[in-house]
Amino acid sequence: MTEINYEIDGNIGVITVNNPPVNALSHAVRSGLKEAIDYAQNDASKALVIICEGRTFIAGADITEFGKPVQAPSLYDVLKAIENSQKPVIAAIHGSALGGGFETALACHYRCALDTAKVGLPEVKLGLLPGCSGTQRVPRLAGIKTALDMITIGNPISAENAKKAGLIDFVITGDLKKGALAYAEELVDQQAIPRRVRDMKVTSDGIEPGLFDSYRKKLAKKARGQLAPQHAIDCIEATMAMTFDEGLKLELDRFLSCLNSPQSSAMRHLFFAEREAGKVRDIARDTPIRDIKSVGIIGAGTMGGGIAMNFANAGIGVTLLDLNGEALDRGLQVIRKNYQISIKRGKLNETQLEERMSLITGSTNYDDLQKVDLVIEAVFEDINIKKSVFAQLDQICKPGAILATNTSYQDVDAIAAVTNRPQDVIGLHFFSPANVMKLLEVVRGEKTADDVIATAMKLARTINKVSVLAGVCYGFIGNRMLTNYIREAQMLLLEGATPELVDSTMQTWGMAMGPLAMGDLAGLDIGYAVRKARTDLPDDPKYCRISDLLYEMGRLGQKSGAGFYQYDAQTRARNSDPDIEALIKVEAERLGVIQRTISEEEIIARLIYPLINEGARILDEGIAQRPGDIDVVYAFGYGFPIFRGGPMCFADQVGLKEVFDTICQFRDRDPDDKFNGIYWEPASLLERLANEGKTFAEWSKSRD
């Protein structure tokens, strides 16, 4: 079997897994492992080592097999064979031992790992919990508290920390195979016996009363709406009262219930969508890319500073340019302050701070951008200012430099057209705060060269962003979809919902923030300016009327202490404002809108279905490559709940016919309101797929 190789080296039987790219536990790997373990019971070996080829130890179950019937042997059968081996079995870990991969290591009798390796149980990130003994073995080896932290959050830990926790026995520096063989020979010399984790006792030492409930409460907030972390806590708690086999049964039961849930299906969809989004359909994967060793950023405001930090964090030198020397100094100070916050949170040390700051050089002179490989413009959102910046860059920058705009809305082609090198111009739309948000919309202009796009997609990975390709249109993918979402939120107010009801309904549904609280956070002046600059919208007197009123009253949101809500000056705590509720009533009356009681179900449909509808148009026009790309934009850039998989995945789960019919009902509910008909016109792709009984995912697959 090619996935598994078995050979004897001295006293040691070496089982090597070779299943690129991440040695996932496919059927072939499971069968090969079991065969090798069974075979080795009767040969001359005295101990067995399980080691992997390639970039990592086994990174988990093969996620692509989930949802299909399990082919024997199951992972449970394989781990049982390993644990029952009469000869000691040693896992030799490099890269990442994750999920079922780490569970395989835990079923071994001893574990060694390279000092650079990581181990973890990230199943909750896929809406799952460890399904093959992870919740039962980690508490036995490392205690309840470590198990709760590792399993309910899902972040991997370093080999060193795993050793401290008792999950790894021996850390190796240098050559893993050499080190693992030497360790195994040593165990043979010591006549070490198979040490089975299932036989270990879970200690209740140091477990304060209420620990499990405090995790339940914490996770109900931190992983709001997610079922898997709560199931994981139950399974870990069960180790204190149940036998190993009883615990395994409970774990499998909960694992299967998660696996078959829409939540896990949505989160697995996002896992693959995130990886697929980085691939550009019509550009060859081996397209040569341009070398980016230095970057210029224009504008030292919040956005420019945040963007600069991304590059400094990745070890790439930045020239941060602002023509206003004071603004530049302020910008550099804000960057330093942000790094200091990271130090306070234990994520950075002083040396790293100084290293990163030394990579950022301030400048007030465009000539300092002559030699940079990439320039990102992050100036005020005004097409004329942007055009003049690009005209200057065209004069100054070296041939082959990539010229990028961080615009959120403007026409990248019009900006490119002021240069003599539109092939080198691209949009790189970062999201605020740019040093935190994972999303990067890469905007392809009509003339952008393929290698410029390929370079941008690769660069996104280097600076730890998730990239999604978008075509040129107003607002690209994310902000374009937001137009009708925001409109509906304000229509709901006129029709009788309070800001509190709209926001709390959406937050309970899973959004990181409700739309009105989001407006207050972003600043109501920003939205106002954007709306005033738009000439393409119908002249609807109801459109964002409440926002406009608030702006005109000087209520700009959090920054002025009041917007849709009132904010406490010290704590920034949000409070409902009865004056605003009264104001909305008066305005509704003036506009002839009859107020009524609005259900939560209606609020959700009124807000999420416009996203789906516009998403369908974006797909049809080729602005986004795939429905999954839109989902990635919303999950990583707009606080859409990951357990709902993004708007297009959610639509598939609801059923496109249902979405289409509801949109038609909203369109037709007030024949006198012509704007209703315009905003709720169903997208033709949605209508087509609804009639054909298809999903967006099926439509996308048929185009591969």
CA-based max dimension of the chain: 91
Name the residue among 512, 513, 524, 507 with its Cα closest to residue 563. 524
Name the residue among 401, 486, 414 with its Cα closest to residue 443. 414
Task: At 195, list the tokens.
Answer: 């040490």
Judged by CB under 6 A, does residue 103 bind ligand 3H9?
Answer: yes
Q: 271 near 24, Cβ under 8 Å? A: no
190: Cβ–Cβ under 8 A, 6 or more apart, which residues? none
**Window contacting ligand 3H9 (CB under 6 A); options: 92-100, 404-412, 677-685, 691-699:** 92-100
Place of tokens 């709001």: 224
Judged by CB under 6 A, does residue 131 bind ligand 3H9?
Answer: yes
Q: Are strands 374-377 and 96-98 parallel, antiparallel or unpaired?
A: unpaired
Q: Which of 13, 88, 99, 527 binds ligand 3H9 (CB under 6 A)?
A: 99
Judged by CB under 6 A, does residue 24 bind ligand 3H9?
Answer: yes
In the complex, what is the shortest distance from the CB of residue 76 to ligand 3H9, in angstroms, rounded to a whole number?
Answer: 7
In the complex, what is the shortest distance from the CB of residue 348 to ligand 3H9, in angstroms, rounded to a whole number?
Answer: 22
Other CB atoms closer than 10 Å to residue 533's CB: what's the count? 12
Considering beta carbons, is residue 103 or 614 the nearer one to ligand 3H9? 103
**Window contacting ligand 3H9 (CB under 6 A); options: 21-29, 173-181, 281-289, 376-384:** 21-29
Query: Which of the 8 DSSP states describes residue 345?
Result: T
**Window contacting ligand 3H9 (CB under 6 A); options: 124-132, 143-151, 440-448, 574-582:** 124-132
In the complex, what is the shortest distance from the CB of residue 453 to ligand 3H9, in angstroms, rounded to a whole number?
Answer: 18
Considering beta carbons, is residue 56 or 483 the nearer one to ligand 3H9? 56
Choose the catalytic residue: 103, 237, 251, 377: 103
Considering beta carbons, is residue 123 or 169 the nearer one to ligand 3H9? 123
Query: Which of the 8 DSSP states describes residue 642?
Result: G
Task: At 485, list the tokens.
Answer: 């979402």
- Is residue 123 part of the annotated active site? The answer reads yes
In the complex, what is the shortest distance from the CB of residue 78 to ligand 3H9, in angstroms, rounded to a whole number?
Answer: 10
Q: Which of 16, 45, 96, 104 binds ligand 3H9 (CB under 6 A)?
A: 96
Considering beta carbons, is residue 75 or 335 the nearer one to ligand 3H9? 75
Query: Which of the 8 DSSP states describes residue 441?
Result: E
What residue ranges in 188-277 does DSSP mark as E strands? none
Buried b (16+ CB within 10 A) or exposed e, 25-49: bbbebbbbbbbbbeebeeeebbbbb
| E strand or H helix that includes residue 699 | helix 696-701
Considering beta carbons, is residue 29 or 683 the nearer one to ligand 3H9? 29
In the complex, what is the shortest distance from the CB of residue 510 to ligand 3H9, in angstroms, rounded to a whole number?
Answer: 21
Judged by CB under 6 A, does residue 357 bind ligand 3H9?
Answer: no
Name the residue among 352, 200, 270, 173 with its Cα closest to residue 653. 270
64: Cβ–Cβ under 8 A, 6 or more apart, which residues? none
Q: Which of 40, 126, 270, 686 binds ligand 3H9 (CB under 6 A)?
A: 126
- Per CB under 6 A, contacts with ligand 3H9 among 238-297 are 272, 275
Task: At 302, list the tokens.
Answer: 């919040």
Judged by CB under 6 A, does residue 3 bind ligand 3H9?
Answer: no
Q: Which of 32, 100, 139, 637 binds ligand 3H9 (CB under 6 A)?
A: 100
- Is residue 602 part of the annotated active site? The answer reads no
What residue ranges in 254-401 does DSSP mark as E strands? 294-298, 317-321, 360-363, 374-377
Q: Which of 63, 182, 240, 353 binds ligand 3H9 (CB under 6 A)?
A: 63
**Window contacting ligand 3H9 (CB under 6 A); options: 59-67, 293-301, 362-370, 511-519:** 59-67
| E strand or H helix that includes residue 470 | strand 466-471
Judged by CB under 6 A, does residue 130 bind ligand 3H9?
Answer: yes
Choose the catalytic residue: 3, 83, 123, 251: 123
Q: 78 near 43, Cβ under 8 Å? A: no
Task: At 127, list the tokens.
Answer: 């809406």
In the complex, what is the shortest distance from the CB of residue 101 to ligand 3H9, in angstroms, rounded to a whole number?
Answer: 7
- What angle, 0 to 180 degrees and rounded to 10, lies between the N-to-C axes of helices 578-591 and 478-494? 90
> Cα(443)–Cα(247) distance, rounded to whole angstroms?
50
Using CB under 6 A as the criterion, which residues of the chain lie in contact with ligand 3H9 when the complex forms? 21-22, 24, 56, 59-64, 75, 96, 98-100, 103, 122-123, 126, 128, 130-132, 134, 272, 275
Q: Which residues are catalytic?
A: 103, 123
